[in-house]
Amino acid sequence: ATELLRLSHAVAEHLRARPLADSAALLAQRARLSLTCAPPPGAPEDPAEALGLTQRERDVLRLVARGRTNRQIAEELFISPKTASVHVSNILAKLGVSGRGEAAAVAHRLELFPGDPLTAPTPG
């Protein structure tokens, strides 16, 4: 539970989600836990890996962030629309969001696809 709290706090800080970061810090303070401990060796540095996204889910999320429908995702990845839908549902659950737009926003904020001109954040 401590590692999940640290991860939640770190993600909230990265997203500049101040209310969530403050809530995590308050919970850590009440439980007398440190949020500043170094991550254990081998801990994922990649945000997508830290969120538990598989490579296929990353592929699907990249296409979701580009605004593709399940049918378009299925055609591009040579899977069925139902399989694409299942991947999207799993992604939404792992990101803790309720819609495709929110998932795309999280991917953008976390800079999950920096080399992709259609999903990379704009400088500035």
Please report the beta strands in the chain, taking only residues with DSSP state E, as ranges in sequence order. Answer: none
pLDDT tens digits, residue range 69-105?
999 999 999 999 999 999 999 999 988 889 999 999 9
Given a contact cutoff of 8 angstroms between Cβ atoms, the answer to whether 117 and 108 are in contact is no
pLDDT tens digits, residue range 109-122?
888 888 777 665 55
Give the chain's count of helices (H) and strands (E): 7, 0
Token output for 106: 């999280």
Query: What domains are defined for the chain?
Result: 1-43 (no CATH), 47-109 (1.10.10.10)
